[in-house]
Structure 1
Amino acid sequence: MAPFRNLYRLLGVLTLVLTAGIAQAEQKISDGKYEIHYNAFNSSFITPEVAQQYNITRSQYRALVNVAVLRLEEDGSKTPVRAQVSGEAANLLQQAQQLEFKQIDEGTALYYIGSFRFTEDEKLTINLQVQPDANADPYDIQFEQTFYVD
């Protein structure tokens, strides 16, 4: 149970972010084979302990993108799968920051975290390429979100 303590903290924070209305409602795409969940939130929402464990920089001017990929099984269950994840965050002037994703593997949970900088009240377009199958084209995901300094 101890190895999952920080994961539960991070998931608890993500749940709070989503239910508090700070982030957009659940964001996902599904094609019947895979389900890809994604969201973005201010890095200061995670605890200092979780940030330290996963070497994540917390700042009121830094946000995180979280991506999780699930394979949809024939029996209706969902299995976390590894994927190649890349992307960028671009402002209205098309100034883009490349996102470098870290894989976080907690056994029963597998997700990817990337970070980027923002300024107060900045609307960013986030473009993701998620490729769970090396023999297939990646999924292209794009969403916009406005970030605020907390």
Structure 2
Amino acid sequence: MLTRYSPLLFAALLSLTLSASLQAEQMFSDEHYEIHYNAFNSTLIPAEVAASYNLTRSGSRGLINIAVREKQPDGSTRPVSAQVSGEVRNLIQQTQSVEFREITETDAIYSIGSFQFTNEDLLTIQLEVQPDAERPAYQIELQQTFYVD
């Protein structure tokens, strides 16, 4: 687990989440948690931010970002850790397992995983997100086309 503060990563991921939400809301919510997620080309992360977090930038490498927030009685939310696993599958059913690592900052906790793709790859991303070991994991699936930069 990385535990250093970097406003650069927070700003980069926040801007990606906001731009993704303009296209389509990528959030799951129930009475306990909000799970925010997005997938994007790794070249969208600034080089200095990628280097500081040991993230590989490549025109054919994607990143998946997941942030879980627990709902509080007063209506606010707070960031929480979660066990995250996933896989990426292309149209001909080739599958890649995605390993996630957690990055903790002052006011945010992210799980980041990476995967490879080819140009115009329509990928199905299946995620299991488990913020509470006493409850079943949430199943999240998204489809997205990726383009090589």
Instruction: Please give the TM-score of this superposition, normalised by the length of structure 1.
Output: 0.90
Cα 1:81–1:12 change in 2 (3 A) is closer
1:115 maps to 114
Number of residue pairs aligned between Structure 1 and Structure 2: 146
User: What are the Cα deviations for residues 34-61 of structure 1, in whole angstroms up to 9, with x where unaligned?
Assistant: 1101010000000111111111000000
On the 8 A contact 2:100/2:113 being kept in 1, the answer is yes
**Contact 2:20/2:26, CA 8 A, preserved across alignment:** no
Q: 1:18 and 1:82 mapped to 2: Cα distance?
A: 22
Q: What is aligned with 1:70?
A: 69
TM-superposed deviation, 1:13? 4.4
Q: Is there any run of 5+ residues in structure 2 with no aligned partner, and where?
A: none
Query: Could you say which structure has the greater relative contact order, defined with CA pairs below 8 angstroms and 6 or more residues apart?
Result: 2
The structural deviation recorded for 1:15 is 4.8
Aligned-partner Cα distance in 1 for 2:10–2:35: 20
* Secondary structure at the counterpart of residue 6 of structure 2: helix
Q: CA RMSD in A?
A: 1.8
CA deviation map 1:9-37 (0-9, x unaligned): 42354157437x6xx42201111111101
TM-score when scaled to structure 2? 0.91
**Structure 1 pair 8/129, CA: closer, same or farther in 2 (3 Å)?**
closer
Other structure's SS at 1:57 match: coil
- C-alpha distance in structure 2 between counterparts of 1:104 and 1:60, whole Å: 23
**CA deviation vs aligned residue, 1:93-145 (integer Å, no higher than 9, x gap):** 11110001010100211011100000000000000000000011100001100
User: Percent same amino acid among aligned pairs?
Assistant: 55
SS at match of 1:41: strand
Distance 1:86 1:141 in 2: 11
Residue 33, structure 1, aligned to residue 32, structure 2:
yes
